[in-house]
Structure 1
């Protein structure tokens, strides 16, 4: 899409406007809108967020399953290595 806009601006400039700086400014603008390095960082950030959500979902499932098996908060925390406050937060959020 950005390439199409860039080509259109270049065409209009060459045929109708003839501004020396316009094409250079459009090139700078389109590169700032699409930068492969920025896209790469965005993808990496998205993957990290997905992993965090996956870990969070697993924590919730594990804590609730252990609770339903009759284990107390302290035991769940000790076996899972999840901070006891986090265990309590999960229980409160999902059982109330």
Structure 2
């Protein structure tokens, strides 16, 4: 089995929700049949757009994984930096 090529984009803090959803709409129009099986596409939107982007990708059956940056290893607690894994969710969690 071939090791997948991870191909994606990280928006950091660059897209508000409206732009993130517009990007998803454009992607859906350009990927009607998915992508090559050797490629694992992903997107890392800003924290505020993770849930809506993930929902859109699932609803439109697009094969992208959704990620988060600056994850902290704790699921909860008093932390002032990074995203908590429990806040992001546990579905299909991957570590890179």
Structure-1-length-normalised TM-score: 0.24
Larger Cα Rg: Structure 1 or Structure 2?
Answer: 1
| TM-score computed with the length of structure 2 as normaliser | 0.24
Q: Which has the higher contact order (CA 8 A, sep 6+)?
A: 2
